[in-house]
Amino acid sequence: MKQRKIIALCLLAAALALPGCGEKPAPDTQPPASSADTSAPTVSAEVTTASAEVTTDTDATSVPATAGTSAATTEPPEATTETTATAATAEATADTTAATSAATSAATSAADTTAATSATTEKKVNELIDIANSRQNGADYFVSPYRQISHIGDPFVLYDEASGKYYMYCTGGKFRCWSSDTFKSWTELGDAYTETEKSFGTQNYWAPEVYKWNGAYYMVYSAARKVEGSLSSTGLRHSIGLAKADNPAGPFTDVYDHPLFAPDYSVIDASLLFDDDGKIYLYYARDCSENVVDGKKTSQVYGIELASDLSGTVGEPVLLATPTSAWELKSGGTLWNEGPCVFKQNGTYYLLFTANYYASAAYSVGYATASSPLGTYTKAAENPILIGDGKKTSGTGHCSVTRSPDGSELYLVYHSHADVTQTTNPVANRTPCFDKLVVRPDGSLAVSGPSVYMQPIPSGANGLYKKYSGVKITSSYPTLNGSAENLLDGVVTSKLGDADLYRFEVTADGCITLEFDSAVELSALWIWGTEHVTLSPKSVSAVLDDTYRLRAKNFSAVEGQTPVVLTCGNLPAGTQTKTVKLYFEAASAASGTATLCEIVVVAGQQK
């Protein structure tokens, strides 16, 4: 009877050892860490066995071994007590005893085998290798706004493939210039532009943009000079110039002894598009200082084709955008559509522009789309796509677009007020900002900003890349709003809408699973909650290929959109991962729910 009980216990223990999301790792005993984990020292014992998980199911690991020992030592064959038995009876008794002993031995062997099998199964299921999060490499992330640079405006960033660096040019002086490998930090290189006898401008050098074309670097900009007949109260008129250099840092000098484009009114904010068919287009703002529409001073966006050798313009200017929507009319007596920038994606032309007074909190970015470079452009219903909240960010505008080193990402570069409380100072201090710009599958645009949190550096920089394609995401948590697929759309948003969020019920047997089409060498997992800290999870841990567990880290209880970064630097060298399971803890036991915004997978080596 005891043997049967032993075998039954063993079989029950083995049956309980089933794989899947239900095998949530044991709670971490590590004290809560900051989301950035920038101050925690690197753990010296990088790889340890999660012993708590091995011993959680005591019955499954100890009962079979004890049962096997009992069968062998506590149940010996019974000896006869009959001292007067005949020889035959004694022989029969001996046979019975031998048979009983053999049966007992067989049962013991079976029990031992079952126990060993159960123990092996339990070990495979429960023995995760516990990995401490490595110290986060400061070179692998950046923070926007970049407040170390100030008193600038109208930033433009060129990614120079030849040097593998970013170059930023801004309004201020004669176009102050900086370089950077990753957006993390910027090195000032001085003024990029040098005046010569060809220079037409005398003051107000504004909004430089630089492009590499035919082996050289070309800068378009606007500058002012006194002109008789100007309608401006200052008597100044802005025109657009063209300068050239052999190096992205300059010095840039004027190509001609006259402006590239100088109509009989002020034009500013020049931007170029080099189209696929070889044609070149100039976009600019007709400045409100000399432009009155329906009785109001108004800045409007225009476009015109340039000659193929950049010697001048072709045809007549075309009006592309004028302020008409409610969000563009916040500044009252004077209206603005300015700071144009056009890029082409999937056959669609996207015109980005800024509306309202640049010193106000209402200064914000919208966009319009067209099927040809000079339109007709249709403004998006969801405008504005970038606007400050007046608390952490303000005056977000005059943007340009640059790409990541590997070409997989777009970034919106713009300026914002250094002092968010000011709303009218025309010489207010401004600082550069960098946020992801996403073209959604339906062709609409979204900006992951304005941000005030750290972000992973652009994909392809520092030997790291972000895995956007070939990732399948599923969730075994009960869904409340949105879908898990939203977490891979590339958009970090502060808007509580279902389009970019995933809200779910946190259950003990649930997890979110990422499956990669090919193995990757993970560098980090970036996970965003929402700006509302009560809706974000309390913590998250990860299990890689049912082998390694990255210890749990807490979400910020103060800044809701500060991401949690699970760092993988302590994994054994060369570890390749195909599957990641994410386990969350709810911030509130009462609600038992959590809301996520985005997950970004950063890998160290593309496979």
| CB proximity list for 205: less than 8 A, separation 6 or greater | 171, 173, 174, 175, 193, 221, 222, 223
Of residues 216 and 20, more confidence is placed in 216
Residue 210 lies in a domain: yes
With a cut of 90, say whether residue 342 has pLDDT above it. Answer: yes
The whole-number average pLDDT for the span 415-431 is 89
Could you tell me the pTM of the whole model?
0.81
C-alpha span between 182 and 166 (Å, rounded): 7
Residue 29 has pLDDT above 80, yes or no: no
The per-residue pLDDT for range 257-287, each reduced to its tens digit, is 999 999 999 999 999 999 999 999 999 999 9
What share of the chain has pLDDT > 90, as a percent? 71
Tell whether 251 and 316 lie within a shared domain: yes
Q: Is residue 71 part of a domain?
A: yes
Query: Is the model's pLDDT at 160 over the cut of 60?
Result: yes
Position 426 confidence tier, pLDDT thresholds 50, 70, 90: confident
Same structural domain, 446 and 471: no
The domain boundary, picked from 422, 451, 480, lies at: 451
Domain for residue 213, yes or no? Answer: yes
> Residue 167 belongs to a domain with what CATH number?
2.115.10.20
Is 262 inside a domain boundary? Answer: yes
Task: Please give the tally of structural domains in the chain.
Answer: 3
pLDDT for residue 23: 52
What per-residue confidence (pLDDT) applies to 497? 63
Q: What's the pLDDT at 288?
A: 97
Q: How confident is the model at residue 25 (pLDDT cuts 50, 70, 90)?
A: low
- Mean pLDDT, rounded, for 337-363: 97
Using CA atoms, how far apart are residues 221 and 261, in angstroms rounded to an integer? 10
- Residue at 134 is within a domain: no
Confidence at 307, pLDDT banded by 50, 70, 90:
very high
Q: Using 50, 70 and 90 to split pLDDT, how confident is the model at 444?
A: very high
Q: What is the pLDDT of residue 20?
A: 57
Query: Is residue 478 domain-shared with residue 522, that is, in the same domain?
Result: yes
For residue 518, give the CATH number of its domain.
2.60.120.260
pLDDT at 420 over 70: yes
Q: Quick one: pLDDT at residue 531?
A: 84
DSSP string, 416-461: EESSTT-SS-TT--EEEEEEEEEE-TTS-EEE--S--SEEEPPTTG
pLDDT value for 158? 99
The two structure tokens encoding residue 453: 């949190």
The tokens 């009006």 sit on which residue?
319
**If pLDDT is split at 50, 70 and 90, which confidence band does 75 have?**
very low
Q: Indicate the SS3 state at residue 502.
A: strand
Model confidence at 9: pLDDT above 50: no
How far apart (Å, rounded) are the C-alpha atoms in residues 569 and 472? 24
Which one of 72, 99, 127 terminates a domain? 127
Sign of torsion over alpha carbons 471, 472, 477, 482: positive
Full residue range of the structural domain in which residue 115 is found: 2-14+55-127
Whether the bond into 572 is cis, omega within 30 of 0: no
Identify residue 105 by its one-letter amino acid code. S
pLDDT at 424: 82
Q: Are 182 and 302 members of one domain?
A: yes
Same domain, 255 and 396: yes
pLDDT tens-place string over residues 98-138: 444 444 444 444 444 444 443 333 333 458 999 999 998 99
Per-residue pLDDT for 155 more than 90?
A: yes
SS3 519: strand
Domain assignment of residue 34, yes or no = no
Provide the pLDDT for residue 124. 39
Q: What is the dihedral of CA 111, 114, 120, 124, to 10 degrees?
A: -140
- Say what the pLDDT of residue 512 is: 99
Q: What pLDDT score was predicted for residue 31? A: 36
**So what's the pLDDT on residue 499?**
72
Q: How many CB atoms lie within 10 A of CB 276?
A: 7
Q: Residue 506: which of 544, 534, 479 has the closest Cα?
A: 479
223 and 103 fall within a common domain: no
> Does residue 44 lie within any of the structural domains?
no
Q: Do 480 and 570 reside in the same domain of the chain?
A: yes
Kind and range of the H or E run holding 120: helix 87-126
Q: Domain check: are 104 and 253 in the same one?
A: no
Model confidence at 78: pLDDT above 60: no
Question: Which of 24 and 316 is assigned the larger pLDDT?
Answer: 316
Mean pLDDT value across residues 29-43 = 36
**Residues 527-574: tens digit of each pLDDT:** 999 988 889 999 999 999 999 999 999 999 998 889 999 999 999 999
Tell whether 377 and 524 lie within a shared domain. Answer: no
Residue 434 has pLDDT above 70, yes or no: yes
pLDDT at residue number 99: 43
Q: Are residues 165 and 117 in the same domain?
A: no
Query: Mean pLDDT throughout 502-521?
Result: 97
pLDDT at 64 exceeding the cut of 80? no
- Average pLDDT rounded to a whole number, residues 48-72: 32
Give the type of residue at 78: E
Both 402 and 512 in a single domain? Answer: no
SS3 59: helix
What rounded mean pLDDT belongs to the chain? Answer: 84
Last residue of a domain, one of 429, 451, 473: 451
- Asked, for residue 38, whether it belongs to a domain, the answer is no
Mean pLDDT lowest among 122-126, 337-341, 394-398, 485-489: 122-126
Q: Is 423 exposed, middle or buried (CB count within 10 Å of its CB: 0-12, 13-18, 19+)?
A: middle
The yes-or-no verdict on residue 93 having pLDDT over 70 is no
Query: Do 394 and 532 fall within a single domain?
Result: no
Q: Which residues contact 346 (CB under 8 A, 6 or more apart)?
A: 439, 443
Using 50, 70 and 90 to split pLDDT, how confident is the model at 233?
confident
